[in-house]
Amino acid sequence: MASETILREQAINLNEKPAVLLLEFKKAIIRGDPTAIYQAILLCSEHQIALPEWLADHLLKLTADYHLGKKPSWKGAGKRPLIVIRRRIENEVRRRAVIAVRAWVKDKRSYQAMPTACIRAWNRQDYRHSEFNTDYDALDFASLGLRDIKIQADGPFLKCSTRTLRRAMEDKNDNHLPNLSGRIASVFGLTDPDTLFGYDKPLKPSLK
């Protein structure tokens, strides 16, 4: 497999951001995040970059294990890859909700990035923008917006207490990686995170 040094040298001919992301995805794979493989594949496809040797090796290993009938597993995860991927998406949704609500508390014009349930509640005037002042207020509203959500149809409801949301924001392992593509979620039969955010109906004039 190619060394970090060789990968960095190869990256000279790539756009800086894709090259840096590929290195981050490799580190994430080593940590036990199977989503990084799919993100790396999509990144190479979108930027027309040849698959790095380390990524090709991982794909070959996964394919060989499948044909040999080996049970899917992931280093350091202790769970099936589907569960690891679902949990990664769940954490992404939590972080995305908190970031969006925090931004809305500062400027209500940024409401479209919030969870759909939050926007609906605000549009109904169940909650008024002037009621939100602290970070705890933001966490509490984000928690409300994520209730009764399932990322996997036959899986558990998303844990969204304010404590859980705060932990997600403090997670240092993958909060610096880009959001997962809806294409990755759909391949595994999971909910596309994008469908949980935004609002396609007009707001009441008094809210603008």
Q: How far is CA 92 from CA 19, 48, 105, 180, in A?
A: 22, 26, 20, 8
What burial letters (b/e) apply to 168-204, b meaning 16+ CB within 10 Å? Answer: bbeeeebeebeebbeebbeeeebbebeebbebeeeee
N residues, the chain: 208
Q: Take residue 186 and report the two structure tokens written for it.
A: 């759909």
pLDDT of 18 reads 84
pTM of the model: 0.74
Q: Which residues pair with 197 in a beta bridge?
A: 115
Read off the pLDDT band of 36 (50, 70, 90): confident
**Strand ranges inside the chain, DSSP E:** none
158 confidence band (pLDDT: 50, 70, 90): very high
Instruction: Provide, rounded to the nearest whole percent, the portion of the chain with pLDDT above 70.
Output: 84
Q: Mind listing the pLDDT tens digit for each residue in 72-87?
A: 555 544 466 778 788 8
CA-based torsion, 170, 176, 177, 179: positive or negative = positive
Angle at CA 71, nearest 5°, toward 70 and 74? 110
Q: Can you tell me the mean pLDDT for 180-193?
A: 84
CB 151 within 8 A of CB 90: yes
Q: What pLDDT is recorded for position 3?
A: 45
Domain ranges across the chain: 4-67, 82-207
